[in-house]
Copies of this chain bind each other. A is one copy, B any other.
Amino acid sequence: MEFRISPASGLPIYQQLVEQVRSGVARGKLAADEKLPSVRELSQSLVINPNTVARAYTELERDGVLYTRPGMGVFVAAKSAPLTKKVRRERLLPLVDQLLVEAVEMGCSLAELSKLISERSTVFEWNGTSEPSNASGGKRK
């Protein structure tokens, strides 16, 4: 998987990397136990400091997205046991509300928003009890 950073993003570089890894895992572009580029390798190809890459990896490992095999590299962690429904709700609510605020603010209808969500949802790797109506989001490798 390719990584890109854009100075115009406004977000810190290490955070851009974190988001790209998270997104890649959720989209199935990064498979479990797949090896990520080494800290030094990625820092050279992106022309940034190794410490910046290391910070991103460290944060992702803390959150259970990656794991480290000392001396070998960092790898994509297998999907951990799903959290409680209550915990999921608590963590998703702020994001949901933020999305709804923005949608309402710009005069979007609820139907339009729902359509947008179901559109984008087809690309992700859902593992719950219900799948997206469209199954076009299969693993590519």
Contact = CB atoms under 8 A, between A and B. Distances in A.
Nearest to A133: B110
Interface string A97-124: 1111111111111111110110011001
Given A26-B105, A65-B105, A107-B83, A112 B128 contact: yes
A121 B104 CA distance: 10
A92 B107 contact: no
14 contacts: A85-B112, A88-B103, A88-B112, A92-B99, A95-B95, A95-B98, A100-B120, A104-B125, A104-B126, A107-B128, A109-B126, A110-B126, A110-B131, A114-B117
How many interface residues does chain A have, given as a range?
Answer: 35 or more
A106 B111 CA distance: 26
A45 interface: no
B107 A102 contact: no
